[in-house]
Structure 1
Amino acid sequence: MSFSFIHAADIHLDSPLKGLEKYEGAPVEEIRNATRVAFKNLVNLAIEKHVAFLVIAGDLYDGDWKDYYTGLFFISQMTRLQKAGINVYLIRGNHDAQSLITKELKLPDNVREFSVHQPETEVDEQWKVAVHGQGFVSRSVTDNLAKDYPERLDGYLNIGILHTSATGREGHENYAPCSIEELVSKRYDYWALGHVHLREVLHEHNPAIVFPGNIQGRHIRETGDKGCTIVHVKDGQIESFEHRSLDVLRWEICDVDASLSETMDDVMEEARLQLEQLQQTADGRLLAVRFHIIGASPAHQSLTVEKDHVINNLRSLALEIGNVWVEKVKIKTTRLIGIDHLQEQHTPVATILSFLESVKEDEDTLELLLDEFKDIQNALPYELKNGEDGFDFTESETIKARLKEVENLILHHIQTKAGV
């Protein structure tokens, strides 16, 4: 007997995407609806491929529902699967733990949610499958849940569903930790894991242990292709598994190497090449792109001083190419000539640069400057004081960063006057 099933996780349905309004020109509706459309794509794939069942390994929701429409949308999609004869096995994760969700709706008969108090086993005689799982009772579960999962049921394909950080993953809380050896020792055929948003195969065979990643990136820290894993079973064994894309909006970092760029036009041409390559892999999806302009470049001073000009040229390029939104531009270039070399030239400019460099190392002077900026700090509007690029004149590191900008400004104007 041959069949397939789908393993998905970390859907975060109706994730609120806080702070999106601060991005100028952001495609707000497309981003807000992205998790729903991606979930529809998941259900469409299950029906199209006539899969035996769907496994959801936690974080179906992104916290308590704002209203019942989130739950009703989920029910509507489960009803579609019910009509297609497809069962669904799901557990709760840290974002949709039992203690977080205050609103409830009766689930259709094809949906089986596992207990949050102890591991349970669901047997499907039609497909000769035994599914084992346990959800999160609260947001922070630091106990090793896997150790109490039952031994395999002989004569069945055994699947374990677990929301876990496994051995620990950067950027993810250490929830329900366990080792790969521990999972292997249960002698299951497949472990359907959730919690980690980056696709990762921890063990290829006997058993396959897989994080499918989330089905839709929600911000710039979740870049690249997002989707689910479709697993193929033959004669009671895992034959193969593969990734299937589901995302409708793709977040990407676009690295633009400006090391060979003499002018702004050169930088834009390199940006065009990199952006067109990203668009080719996006398969028609809307791209949300953060540009990183990097490298030791002759155009460094122009790029840093004329940042608004750079940003708007990149936005214009995105409009020209189409289906691209510029989320942010980070200029990370450096000078071709080091500051030490410039200081050794014994010119008036070198004297100014040496003074600025000495200020960075003088804590007393930095404290005096912070005191001078106190009134400005208090007067700044909230949006300028907060966020990744906010002005915080209560920290000396802010002054040091601004002094670097002053250096770039001086060198830019000298080069412009000299016709360099």
Structure 2
Amino acid sequence: MPRFLHTADIHLDSPMCGLERYDGAPIDRLRSSTRRALKRMVELAIEQRVDFVLIAGDLYDGTWRDYNTGLFLRKTLEALIDAKIPVFIIAGNHDAQNKMTRSLSLPEGITMLDTDKPQTIPLSELDVMIHGQGFATAAVTQDLSARYPAPTGGCLNIGMLHTCVAGAEGHERYAPCSVEGLRAKGYDYWALGHIHLRHDVAGDPSIVFPGNLQGRHIRETGPKGCLIVDLEPGQEPRSTFHRLDVMRWEVCDLDASDLERPSDLLALVDQELHRLLDEEDDPDRLLAVRVRVLGASRWHEAFVADRARWINEIRAEGLSIDGDRLWIERVKLSTRPLLRASERDGDGPIDALMSLVDSYRSDDQALRDLGDRLADLRRKLPSEFTTGDDPLSLDDPDWLREMLDRAGPLLLHRLRAANEPHS
């Protein structure tokens, strides 16, 4: 019964651009995280005595800045070669053949599959056939799997493919295919890459994204790693997730709606950050947290009026808990004003304003449409408003949502002032 390791989307030496904007960011630990996760993967493959390793695209984040990336990869994978564990790799959209301007020859035992046509590699001693094709260009829009060969009888057949599988929300439609099309090939397992969220697309046969090996930013939250798969003829594959990340990204949402006083927010921060740290079983793993303060709060105006202070109070709380294991990536004060009883009649301008703001906040597409309508205004603004540390990001729903959270209270204050009786 063959056993193999399935991974994808390693993005080795991803530059993680923009880290310098984060005051106090552990830049060296962040930028070395993909290398350290790859080392853990190699150690796991040897420990688990796998027969081979599959890397389903985006081993690299793009062409190398220098040859150190290729040298590091060769040195790291030498341990697999010494253990007689072959490695099979397909190129993805980030490391497509036409994007890689630097390269090094691969030692025996490491195979990069063809990019111009599907390639089949037999592992005769295991009765396994590996089928796959990498990306020749960064934007492959045809279904590569359509040309994969029929399965080889008497063998276990594994397909490797970097794909969106008929379009996954938030991902480019590269090498689109369908579950029905993959099933029709008659393979025993599909080792996919491209989607960074680990999940089983389908069973019978197993069509699986392992997720990426190491999260690189706040949109890649939760544990990351790879799959160890046991494949047996006539049986459903048994796969086990193994965590390999050296840092974990998380969003910590705090509800400020019931705070008795503003300072109670810090106790809430302390409680939730301790909870996240207690979930970790590896004392060396870095936890990168975005803190979002939410809810309709009577203290909303206080938080907005002294935004910088409260953001840094929360950062300081994280440092005092464990500055070596915990980094507050960003703090977003996104509370809403608490409407007065007289403003909740449903007919007045204040209620209409808050209803409109809430409708935008909860709908990413509505926010994108709003960004499109503001694009012309953006072009007319001076450059200092559109560049720098906090530029206008009209295509980012999170940025637009934050701007609504800032503008809403200002409009509310003006409406309240207009409705107050004049003495």
Question: TM-score band (shorter)?
Answer: 0.7 to 0.9
Map of 1:220 onto structure 2:
218
CA distance in 1 between partners of 2:235 and 2:53 (Å) = 17
1:240 aligns with 2:238: yes
CA distance in 2 between partners of 1:389 and 1:274 (Å) = 31
Q: Is the 8 A contact 2:214 2:244 kept in 1?
A: yes
Instruction: Figure out how many residues of one structure are paired with residues of the other and give that number.
Output: 386
- Counterpart of 1:76, as a letter, is K
Provide structure 2 residue ranges, at least 5 long, that are not aligned to the other structure.
Answer: 358-373, 417-423
1:105 counterpart SS class: coil
Map of 2:320 onto structure 1:
320
Please tell me the root mean square deviation across aligned C-alpha atoms, in Å.
Answer: 3.2
- Counterpart of 1:67, as a letter, is D
1:251 aligns with 2:255: no
- Counterpart of 2:212, as a letter, is N
1:313-371 deviation line (CA, Å, top 9, x unaligned): 11111112211111111112112215971999x9xxx9xx89x99xx9xxxxxx9xx99
Map of 2:273 onto structure 1:
275
Q: CA deviation at 1:233?
A: 2.6
Map of 1:176 onto structure 2:
175
261, 264, 267: which one aligns with 2:262: 264
Q: Is the 8 A contact 1:93 1:139 kept in 2?
A: yes
Residues 80 and 234 (structure 1), Cα distance of their counterparts in 2 relative to 1, 3 Å cut: same
Q: CA deviation at 1:411?
A: 11
1:304 counterpart SS class: helix
Q: How does 1:73-152 map to 2 (within 5 A)?
A: 73-152=72-151
336, 340, 359: which one aligns with 1:334: 336
Q: CA deviation at 1:264?
A: 2.2
Q: CA deviation at 1:258?
A: 1.0
Residues 197 and 403 (structure 1), Cα distance of their counterparts in 2 relative to 1, 3 Å cut: closer
2:263 counterpart SS class: helix
Provide structure 1 residue ranges, at least 5 long, that are not aligned to the other structure.
Answer: 361-366, 391-395, 413-420
Q: Is the 8 A contact 1:231 1:240 kept in 2?
A: yes
CA distance in 2 between partners of 1:132 and 1:6 (Å) = 16
Q: CA deviation at 1:408?
A: 7.2
Q: CA deviation at 1:309?
A: 1.7
1:406 aligns with 2:410: yes
2:59 counterpart SS class: coil
Q: CA deviation at 1:279?
A: 1.4
Residues 397 and 235 (structure 1), Cα distance of their counterparts in 2 relative to 1, 3 Å cut: closer
1:184 counterpart SS class: helix
- Counterpart of 1:331, as a letter, is L
Residues 236 and 84 (structure 1), Cα distance of their counterparts in 2 relative to 1, 3 Å cut: farther
| TM score, norm. by length of structure 1 | 0.84
Q: Is the 8 A contact 1:159 1:191 kept in 2?
A: yes
Map of 1:415 onto structure 2:
none
1:237-280 deviation line (CA, Å, top 9, x unaligned): 44411211111111110000111112222212122222122212
1:297-318 deviation line (CA, Å, top 9, x unaligned): 2222222222112111111111
CA distance in 1 between partners of 2:384 and 2:64 (Å) = 37
1:317 counterpart SS class: helix
1:300 aligns with 2:304: no
1:282 counterpart SS class: coil
2:77 counterpart SS class: helix
Residues 261 and 147 (structure 1), Cα distance of their counterparts in 2 relative to 1, 3 Å cut: same
1:383 aligns with 2:388: yes
- Counterpart of 1:116, as a letter, is T
- Counterpart of 2:78, as a letter, is T
CA distance in 1 between partners of 2:239 and 2:253 (Å) = 32
Q: CA deviation at 1:89?
A: 0.9
Residues 249 and 387 (structure 1), Cα distance of their counterparts in 2 relative to 1, 3 Å cut: farther
Q: Is the 8 A contact 1:289 1:327 kept in 2?
A: yes
Q: Is the 8 A contact 1:166 1:177 kept in 2?
A: yes
CA distance in 1 between partners of 2:59 and 2:291 (Å) = 31
Q: Is the 8 A contact 1:157 1:236 kept in 2?
A: no
Which one has the largest radius of gyration? Answer: 1
Map of 2:288 onto structure 1:
288
1:99 counterpart SS class: helix
Map of 1:364 onto structure 2:
none
CA distance in 2 between partners of 1:399 and 1:290 (Å) = 17
Q: CA deviation at 1:182?
A: 0.6
Map of 2:200 onto structure 1:
201
1:391-417 deviation line (CA, Å, top 9, x unaligned): xxxxx99998765353577899xxxxx
Residues 408 and 33 (structure 1), Cα distance of their counterparts in 2 relative to 1, 3 Å cut: farther
Q: CA deviation at 1:37?
A: 0.5
Q: Percent identity, please.
A: 44
Q: CA deviation at 1:385?
A: 5.3
Q: Is the 8 A contact 1:157 1:237 kept in 2?
A: no
CA distance in 1 between partners of 2:95 and 2:341 (Å) = 52
2:72 counterpart SS class: helix
Residues 34 and 47 (structure 1), Cα distance of their counterparts in 2 relative to 1, 3 Å cut: same
Q: Is the 8 A contact 2:337 2:409 kept in 1?
A: no
2:108 counterpart SS class: coil
- Counterpart of 1:311, as a letter, is I
CA distance in 1 between partners of 2:189 and 2:77 (Å) = 23
- Counterpart of 1:118, as a letter, is K
1:160 counterpart SS class: strand
Residues 158 and 382 (structure 1), Cα distance of their counterparts in 2 relative to 1, 3 Å cut: same
CA distance in 2 between partners of 1:386 and 1:407 (Å) = 22
2:97 counterpart SS class: coil
- Counterpart of 1:191, as a letter, is W
